Chains A and B, each alone.
Chain A
């Protein structure tokens, strides 16, 4: 099974900060990596797919990079509506999609 490990698990940040979240796969997954944002009580929202492709309607302050085993999600200038939990997900192995454990952005 492919394990996905995110870091950090939580992050205290301020509006306007540049935020970077890391996701590491236990084996190479090429660019089969998506990022999701989830707010409390809501369904997740797709932000990035194919490691770096921005989903339609997602603000350009969100960006993704990486390939193989190491990936990052970057928010260039954090906005108030960005406080949420972020998850990575691998789709390399359709036999077993897996999510990372999540990274919660909290207000400093």
Chain B
């Protein structure tokens, strides 16, 4: 059974740092790209960051670029998000999600986020 379990969330002051973790099990972690997605209270989903199967491919949303760093340890089946210079508008539930390629045809591969963790809440407040 595929499982993604986030941890590391909590209350932090503005300007502070936090490191989120996502422990993966039930699949070959090293074979999948992974994402972080967040959801502010009462708001919609916001994609945060993507990391490929190796660390050579990494993308960030503009809202977190330069402040957040995504990483992974395939030996530990773990995904991380280092969050620095946190602001009040970073307050959200943070989810890790597996990037799954559904099928490829004609040179195009179509994907979706097929498994998600339960989320870990992050509150940035003084």
Contact = CB atoms under 8 A, between A and B. Distances in A.
B50 interface: yes
Interface size class on chain A is: 20 to 34
A95 B59 contact: yes
B100 to A, nearest CB: 8
B47 A30 contact: no
Contacts of A101: 44
A74 B10 CA distance: 38
Contact of B117 (A43, A50, A95): A43
B-side interface size class: 20 to 34
Interface string A9-46: 00000000000000000000011101010100001111
Interface in A80-108: 85, 87, 89, 91, 94-102
Interface of B: 35, 37, 44-47, 50, 59, 61-62, 95, 97, 100, 102-103, 108, 110-114, 116-119
6 contacts: A44-B97, A49-B102, A49-B111, A53-B103, A53-B110, A97-B35
